[in-house]
Amino acid sequence: MTAVSGHGPWPGGERDVQEAQLQVIGDLAELPTGVDAVPFLAQLTGRGLGAVSTGRSAALLAGTSIELGPHGWKLADRPGGDERRARALLREDLTALAVAAHGYVGRLTVEVTGPWTLAAELWSARGDRVLADQGARADLAVALATGLAEHVAEVRGQVPGAEVVVQLAEPLLGQVHAGVLPTFSGYSRIRGVDGPTVVEGLRPVVDAVHDAGASVVVHLGGTWVGIPPAVLAGADAIGLELSAVGPDGWNERAWELVARATEREVGLWAGLPPATVSQCSGPQLGELVALVAGPWRRVGLPAAGLASLTLLAAPRTAPASVDDHRAGLANLGRVAESLAERALA
């Protein structure tokens, strides 16, 4: 059954946490019949840096302290107020989830920054990006694996009927592999990481999530070159922002890799941009249907496979209102309904 879900970021501040989570659960429950809803843990990013992806994910690192520095989040010698704030916001979100999803049974997803992107975004206590130090980035992967397993248990404790799906967000994986990320000084670049090493860094995190009883989606943004490492690391699905893959969502090499992944029973979570809106006819949902179905059929994948897709609202590049986010979920529901019909044709 074609499904709809989201990444997690949601507009709002301190007072909006419970309302936001209720909106997510409620709006997804109203999707068309025949479309599977996958609720997600809402992340109200307007509450500060402790609520955005890097700080939120770094706060999960087991046995590792973090704090805010000149360039953003960095490793620290001891816990401090920044870390306590990030952890408190996450606990607040889990409490809101427990209320909003009371009695819920089914798939439920949480998004966490993956080990390679986190190593690229975090800075060492007294040096460069964690990515630049092989030992430090290996330690970070282990700390994330341990902390993420605990996080899965906490989510399941709040929502006992949840089949937890962890989205590992790896939007910087392509830059990590290509060796284009600047050092602290900005005068040089951090050496690229080869494919086998990328797999080695992903695997302990993926394995830990599986051992905790959850499934894993490695979301690559538009970095389709990360598909093989994600598959080899044991991901249950890969995520791609289709509008970033190529014109009209088409890139032959990218879709060949998608096809090979599906042959190995690795799913696709397809990120779609907001629908363009016509003053005469409203949201142009046919464009979004074509963005998925066109490349899918062009690469030779069976129409029936469209029923196995999960659609995601792509991260917005500009500030958007709560109404925009809610309308986006509703539009995805209608797109998923159309794809489900094509799967039966």
- Scanning 193-251, the segments in alpha helix (DSSP H) are 195-211, 227-232, 242-245
* CB contact at 8 A, 60 and 144: yes
What pLDDT, in 10s, does the model give residues 297-316? 999 999 999 999 999 987 77
Q: Which two tokens stand for residue 294?
A: 């066109």
The tokens describing 205, both together, are 């995190």
Answer whether 186's CB lies under 8 Å from 248's CB: no
pLDDT in tens, 14-32: 778 999 999 999 999 999 9
pLDDT tier at 62 (50, 70, 90 boundaries)? very high
| 3-5 sheet: strands from edge to edge | 36-37, 3-5, 310-313, 267-272, 237-241, 215-219, 162-169, 106-113
Q: For residues 133 and 119, give the distance between their C-alpha atoms in angstroms, rounded to a whole number.
A: 9
pLDDT of residue 115: 98
Summarize pLDDT for 129-175 with one digit per residue, the tens: 999 999 999 999 999 999 999 999 999 999 999 999 999 999 999 99
CA-based nearest residue to 214, from 171, 160, 156, 261: 156
What does the pLDDT look like over 197-249, one tens digit per residue? Answer: 999 999 999 999 999 999 999 999 989 999 999 999 999 999 999 999 988 89
**Is the Cβ–Cβ distance between 46 and 319 less than 8 Å?**
no
Domain that holds residue 295: 3-344
| Buried-exposed string 25-55: b where 16+ CB fall within 10 A, e elsewhere | bebbeebeeebbbbbbbbbbbebbebbbbbb
User: How far is Cα 188 from Cα 55, in angstroms, rounded to an integer?
Assistant: 26
Q: What is the CATH number of the domain that holds 81?
A: 3.20.20.210
**The predicted structure's pLDDT at residue 83:** 95
pLDDT score of 127: 82
Q: How does pLDDT run across 264-299, given as a tens digit for each residue?
A: 999 999 999 998 887 676 789 999 999 999 999 999
Task: Select from 58, 125, 121 the least CA-distant residue to 85.
Answer: 58
3-state SS string over 311-334? Answer: EEECCCCCCCCHHHHHHHHHHHHH
Mean pLDDT across the stretch 123-133? 92
For residue 319, the model assigns a pLDDT of 72
The whole-number pLDDT of residue 318 equals: 65
Count of structural domains, the chain: 1
Amino acid at 6: G
Burial 75-102 (b: 16+ CB within 10 A, else e): bbeeeeebbebbbebbebbbebbbebbe
Residue 257 confidence (pLDDT) above 80: yes
CA angle 256, 261, 288 (to 5 degrees): 65
Most confident of 180-184, 207-211, 246-250, 322-326: 207-211
- pLDDT score of 102 more than 90: yes
> Quick one: DSSP state of residue 225?
G
Q: What angle do CA 155, 157, 162 make, to 5 degrees?
A: 60
How many angstroms separate the CA atoms of 17 and 269, rounded? 26
Residue whose pair of structure tokens reads 């989830």 in the numeric block: 97
Structure tokens at 310: 């999960």
**Is the pLDDT assigned to residue 334 strictly greater than 80?**
yes
103: left (phi over 0), alpha (psi -120 to 50) or beta: left
pLDDT at 219: 97
